Every structure is written in structure tokens, then in C-alpha cells.
Structure 1
């Protein structure tokens, strides 16, 4: 929020606008990489496809977990669901709910923050191996340094906790 570049209401109070950084359209094009992997694994077993896609999805999600990307994550999960549904149609013909249930299942998942999430239509094998979703990645904001803190003030406890060592 800037002091000089913000709007004001009629009585002179600052409105205060914040900058929200989102993944760019070029970055969201990582769906092209996922589409290529799905095409390469058109005849491969479901577990091989999941093993190939999970590191791609996790890496991209972790990279963009520090910006405003919840909406983008949800949009990407929807696009990937549509791609995987098309993958199942190419394997077993015109898709019906009975055929889709061979590839998509209902499951309750424990997330890294300890919460549980009930997922419908989760791309998963009979063994329990499932595809990671973008929106499972927690958004972690950067914490600002206190204005009065310097490296020279001798407060080593503060700086150790900032680095995650304490």
C-alpha cells in the first residue's frame, strides 16, 4: 500500500491498494507440458501416468505457492480433469459414469496441514495411488522483516526463527 500512489475518499483518508502477483499466462501454459505427458502415456497404465504427472504438478504448485494463485490452481485442476477424462474416453470408448469409476474414485485425503479433504472424482488407481491436485498446495505468504530489526542489534533469536532454525 503506497502513501503517494493511492486513491482517497472525499474526507482525505487513504484507500490503500495492494499489488496482487498472480502466475502469468505464460506460466499457466504448463498445461501444455501436462498435455504432452498424457499423449505420451496414451496406452500406458494409469499408475505410470500418475507417477509421471505428480512431480510436474507438485513442482509447479510449490513454485507458485507464494503468490495469489488459488484461483489459478482451481482452474488448472479443472483443465487437467478434462484432459484425463478425454484420456479415459480414448481407452474405453464413450465415457459413462460406470466406466469413469474405473479411473476416478471418491476418497478422503489427509493434507499436509493436518486437515482432511473429501474428494469426488479423484484420478486414482485401485491400489490407492492418486494424482496430486494443484489446489492441495497451501499458499504461504512471505513474512516481512520488522522495521526496527537489523542484523546488528544482537537479536539472534529473531533472525534464527526467520531462517527456520529455531
Structure 2
């Protein structure tokens, strides 16, 4: 299942409105406003078959970023604009075409940086309410596997609580 065309159209429209609203504003303000939108949309859709959609949105964003830079500096050439706004902001990634503010190191996230999470089926007739110890063990291991995707402090809290919410006794994952 892919993100719907309407959803892609809506995110493009929303991002376009932000770009147009912030046309003359400072780059840091634009980044601050756009990143939460990208993060929210990408996190919602990363459980789908969305990698192709993410690549297309990254390409679309690149041209939006170019237009912003050209509007902000119409008399400067493309090399100057590239040196001013594009670079390798996140050293862990091999991407030299990241739009950002070099003075502060702030940059716009790319959709394709969000890891796609595939849905895993529960084997057989397993149910979290099944009293069978083997089934209970499988769900505990599932929680431990899912916790590895979280940061260290989140993992520590989850492990201390045995991957179960102390209030409602539901799995944390």
C-alpha cells in the first residue's frame, strides 16, 4: 500500500504554502517550520511502501529549495547559491545536496532519510492474551526487538519496566 495521490498532493500544497509564506524570511525560520511537517508526514507514511514516494518528494523539495534561494538572491549565480545553502550538514550521510544554514548547522530533513518499517505478521494464531508461556515469550521478545529502534534512554526505561506499561499493563510496543 502506497501513500495516496491525495496525501502526496496535500503535503506538497502544505509545504508550498510554507515556502511561499516564508519567501523573504531567514533560512533558519523556514527550516524550523518545514522540518516538523516533513517529520510528521514521513513517520506516518513510513509503514507503507513509500520509498519511491519519498524519493519523488525529495526531488520536489530540491526544486523548491532552489526556487527559494534564487528568489532570495536573484543576482547571484548558481555556484554561489549552492555554496551558501547546500552542503553536507549531516556527516553520517553521504549527501552533499542538503539545504540548510551553514552558520548554525540547521538543515531540512529529507523524506528518504526516514527508515521504512515493514509490517510483520504475528505467526499462527498468537494473541497477546494467550496464557501459553511460549506465546508470552514471543511477545516479550517482539517488544525487545522493537525497543532497539528507540534511543538509549527510552530503551533503559522500557527494560526497567519489562516492556510493559506500569499503569495499564499493556505492552509498550
Calculate the TM-score normalised by the size of structure 2. Answer: 0.75
Higher helix share: 2
Among candidates 85, 88, 99, match of residue 66 of structure 2: 85
Partner of 1:66: 47
Greater shift in the superposed pair: 95-104 or 58-67: 95-104
Runs of 4+ in 1 over 6 A off after TM superposition: none
Q: Name 1:100's counterpart in structure 2.
A: 82
Deviations 1:34-83 (A, max 9, x none): 00001111111101100100000011000011111111000000001101
Tell me, in whole angstroms, the C-alpha distance in 2 between the residues paired with 1:99 and 1:23: 33
Shift of 1:107: 3.9
User: 1:159 aligned to 2:139?
Assistant: yes
- Give the CA RMSD over aligned residues: 1.7
1:147 equivalenced with 2:124 (yes/no): yes
Give the unaligned 5+ runs of structure 2: 147-162, 165-173
Which residue does 2:96 correspond to in 1?
A: 120
Q: Which residue of structure 1 aligns with residue 13 of structure 2?
A: 32
Higher strand share: 1
Q: TM-score, normalised by structure 1?
A: 0.78
Highest RCO, 1 vs 2 (Cα 8 Å, sep ≥ 6): 1
Q: Determine if contact 1:123/1:131 at 8 Å carries over to the other structure.
A: yes
* Count of residue correspondences: 140
